Amino acid sequence: MSRIQRDAGILVLVAILLGIAAYFAFPLSKTNLGLDLQGGLAVILQAPEGTSTNDIDRAVTIIQNRVNKLGVAEPEIQTQGQDKISVQLPGIDNPEEALKIIGKTAVLEFHEVSDFGTPYKSEAEALAAANVDSEAALDALEGYHAVVHWGVDSGGASSDQWFLVTKAPELTGAMLKDAQTGFDQNNNPKVDMQFESEGATLFAEITGRLADTYKITGQYELLAIVLDGEVESAPRVLEQISGGNAEITGKFSLDDAKNLALVLQTGALPVELTSVSQNTVGAVLGKSALNQALMAGAIGLLLIMVFMVVYYRLLGLIASLALIIYTVLFLGILNGIGVTMTLPGIAGMILTLGMAVDANVLIFARMRDEVRSGKTVGAATSAGFRKAFRAVFDCNMTTIITAIILFWAASGGIKGFALTLGVGVALSMFTAVLVTRSILILLSGWRPFRNLRLLGLHVTREKSLPVNEGGRL
């Protein structure tokens, strides 16, 4: 196979790859955007000191399930250190509501109201009854201790009451199988729950016991449904409820009912998580940042192409064509592997645009040296690519190694920058060494490519200095 046939085959392969890349690259709306480009929520949640690794891992799984049910595209949820969880939710419409959902502890308990004991006018009074001054101290006591708040409606007015409960509930949300929203007979939103087999049996026993008490004493028995220490509803139990179905009713909006059902579906967080860092980016601000980044990239690409054409003429035109091919291949690869693009990632892309022509500058400078030594354009092209390859390879490999270290050691936006930088530099070697070379070899027989001035390879020959008769300057 001749050299021309080989280079023609390389260009055919490039054309095929270019078509595949263009399918993934365009339109640009196919690109997954990070929250700094489309808006969203970034939050760091911290667990209490001493939380085990297993509890952190379980919390990450539960948050992931909740986020998936919210329908967030390309969320990023990962541990940070030993006791923190980083959550990034791009494109979320209501960041505050999303934060409430993902960080909700969702401890669901079913208490018999007869176990509540004496009501207190404030939480402080209830804690004082247990001889403690905080909930953390309450948790440290032996046995079960919890403060439950109940906003009781009485004659159209509401009164807040707090109870110190010392008897552990028999039935908890850990025994739930599923939960979904529904509507009661007055068309008010509610949450329907279904227990697994053990929970259904226990629920039937509890309601049966309460129903028997009502039949004997004639007094209504209440079963309080408590979520995170708050009584959501306390229905009267008049008969045994079998089948494992229960419902939570109250003054819910439809969104509140949906969010509560979502939290119950995914289970309770094993620990209480506190937000220690929160950053919300509005959709308008994200779009503005995206437009500015795209504008910077387009201007950078245009200026590079103008410089190459002005300085290297036809060779610069070939380098600019290779740069366009590089850009399409780059976007196609990033979209094809599903990279989420962020501002640091775009910065890495723009940086590689300039680095992509570095190899061409080295090669063209070497070709100019070969022409100066008296070689033809074809011979100078082969020698220039061959002799410049080592320098091109060494320069790009140092950058790739740096990008790999950054990607391994960093997180978040820095990792995105490292990824685009590494992929871009590796791809630039391919386009500069193979694509540009193959195009030049195939066009070497074209008449304009024999004109050194048109190619930008003309050299200024040094003029001979005058010599005096004695042979001295």
Average pLDDT over residues 170-191: 88
Average pLDDT over residues 458-469: 48
Partner residues linked to 101 by β-bridges: none
Q: What is the pLDDT of residues 336-376, one digit of tens each?
A: 888 878 888 888 888 888 888 888 888 888 888 888 887 87
Q: What is the pLDDT of residues 159-179, one digit of tens each?
A: 789 999 999 999 988 888 888
User: 382 and 316 in one domain?
Assistant: yes
| Local structure of 172: helix, strand or coil | strand
The predicted structure's pLDDT at residue 164: 93
User: 264 and 286 in one domain?
Assistant: no
User: 47 and 26 in one domain?
Assistant: no
pLDDT at 205 over 90: yes
The predicted structure's pLDDT at residue 278: 84
Asked, for residue 465, whether it belongs to a domain, the answer is: no
The Cα 395–Cα 136 span in angstroms is: 58
User: 209 and 325 in one domain?
Assistant: no
Domain final position from 227, 255, 281: 281
User: 44 and 29 in one domain?
Assistant: no
The conformation of residue 166, written as its DSSP 8-state character, comes to: -
pLDDT at 130 over 60: yes
State how many domains the chain has.
Answer: 3
User: 256 and 124 in one domain?
Assistant: yes
Domain final position from 214, 247, 281: 281
The Cα 119–Cα 97 span in angstroms is: 32
The Cα 144–Cα 464 span in angstroms is: 102
Is 262 in contact with 67 (CB distance < 8 Å)? no
User: What's the chain's average pLDDT?
Assistant: 83
84-90 β-sheet, strand order: 76-80, 84-90, 40-46, 274-281
Give the rounded percent of residues in the chain with a pLDDT score beyond 70: 92
The Cα 473–Cα 466 span in angstroms is: 7
Domain final position from 281, 305, 330: 281
Strands annotated E in 156-213: 157-165, 171-172, 176-183, 189-195
Average pLDDT over residues 131-154: 82
DSSP string across 56-86:
HHHHHHHHHHHHHHHT-SS-EEEEETTTEEE
Q: Which of 236, 231, 228, 237 is nearest to 205 (CA)?
A: 237
Q: Which amino acid is present at 165?
A: V
User: How far is CA 181 from each of CA 58, 103, 456, rounded to the nearest angstrom?
Assistant: 25, 20, 73
Asked, for residue 471, whether it belongs to a domain, the answer is: no
- Of 2-6, 97-101, 170-174, 399-403, the poorest mean pLDDT is in 2-6
Average pLDDT over residues 445-458: 72
Q: What is the pLDDT of residues 34-63, one digit of tens each?
A: 777 787 888 889 988 888 888 888 888 888
Q: Which of 431, 452, 216, 415 is nearest to 315 (CA)?
A: 452
In this structure, what CATH number is given to the domain that contains residue 401? Answer: 1.20.1640.10
User: 314 and 237 in one domain?
Assistant: no
Q: Which of 106, 149, 144 is nearest to 126 (CA)?
A: 149
Q: Which amino acid is present at 374?
A: G
User: How far is CA 39 from each of CA 279, 289, 290, 328, 386, rounded to the nearest angstrom?
Assistant: 10, 10, 10, 26, 48
Strands annotated E in 333-469: 340-341
Q: What is the pLDDT of residues 207-253, one digit of tens each?
A: 999 999 988 988 888 999 888 888 888 888 888 888 888 888 777 78
In this structure, what CATH number is given to the domain that contains residue 92? Answer: 3.30.70.3400
Antiparallel, parallel or unpaired: β 119-120 and 157-165: antiparallel
**Angle between the 358-372 and 413-429 helix axes, to the nearest 10 degrees?**
30
User: 235 and 309 in one domain?
Assistant: no
Partner residues linked to 246 by β-bridges: 193
Q: What is the pLDDT of residues 240-283, one digit of tens each?
A: 888 888 888 777 788 888 888 888 887 778 788 888 888 887 76
User: 65 and 13 in one domain?
Assistant: no
The domain of 342 spans 3-34+282-455
